[in-house]
Structure 1
Amino acid sequence: MNLLKYVIILSLFAFQTAPSQTFVDDVERVAIVVIDYCVDENGKQYNIKINQEKSTYKHDGWQQGCLEHFNNGVLRDPMNMVNKCWQSVYYFVNSKYKTYELPKAEREKCKDLHRGTFKYESPAYSETKIKRRKRKQIEKGGYGGKQIYNIEWLDDHIYTLETVKMSLAKDKIKEGDIITVEIIELLDEDTYLYKAYSKDEETDNNVVYGLISRV
């Protein structure tokens, strides 16, 4: 597959700043390509490069496709990002998880994950800590700043996050959004694979997958 084909596939995603995922068959579960960039005082991005240390998907064709896609895209709210540096993350997910569901026999085990302190098993979000309470989830650290959500469990393995407060100006537009999160695989008693999507908008290019572990 040549570079043009990778770029065409990635062009299905509308915004650079929104997480983008692609199904592939050469990763165990989830891998990422991380692009670092800065935004100048005029809202124009510069110093754009792949962060190889954080990127876990090393396929050169896809990496270059991500870079080309990012360069051709438009930032959603650049004037609230000026004079700072950021990252954009592209997700590559094993295709078997596209329709994968947690077996019913394992769903009750998820009750132990309803509260506690957690972290993302991703180099892109290694600084983020998640504190989950009965009705609130608070995420702090890294590029996301402080994020406050109302959490509601719809089932033992499915919950929604209503975005209450975002500390970064560029993310204020997300306040009020509702994200549905489904636990689709338990790796052990403390780690799970999830898929997350905006409520009522579960489409291939809207779903984000990742791993979360109890701290």
Structure 2
Amino acid sequence: MSSAPVKAYLDILSQPSRAVLIFLRHNRIPHTVQTVALRRGEQKSAEFTRLNPMQKVPVIEHGGFVLTESDAILKYLATVYDVPEHWYPREPLQRARVDEYTAWHHSNTRPHAARVFFMEVLMPSMLGRPADPAKLQKAVDELEQTMQKLGEMFLKRQAFLCGDDISIADLLAICEIMQPLGGGRDILKNHPNLQSWRSRVQAALGEPFIEAHGILYRLRDKTAARL
């Protein structure tokens, strides 16, 4: 495999982009970042569309190899680089637990958290009016049910979602769960077990976590100032 740095195409307002960026920084993987500003439509440029016809971030380019989808990207990076094995264990049963969560993630944590953020933050800024209260409440209720299942099915009595140490499952999950904070909503306020888990994840990730989520903290403060 090429020794060239990973070139990551990201927009840090994108949850999966933040997950990839945090992984790269935390594990000190040589990389460069090419910002693709979704709000400006840069993902629709001819140059980016050649890389990813789906016109979505994140994307990585590594020695001529182009890969899309955050789940695949994180597993690739964990496999190619000499990172601690807890990120994506080689032992089949432990690896299967990570794969189990990442499969569940795409139809549960990700869409439900993203929908609340879209309705509370993006929709008002794009359309100039708040989301329909009934539809927003339905989205919030669905997200609440997902958080309940996340704690019951995955966290159980262990420290992290898939075992006793952090994995890419925790990284993908935390970036989604932080997203509604941009609208001032802490979706874990009624889930003390998940709050403790979030603290453990943040402590394990350190400065890269704080840096990557700075944009959400600023968005939260801006939202609060408008209220």
For the criterion TM > 0.5, the same-fold answer is: no
TM (norm. structure 1) is: 0.30
The structure whose residues are more often strand, as a share, is 1
The structure whose residues are more often helix, as a share, is 2
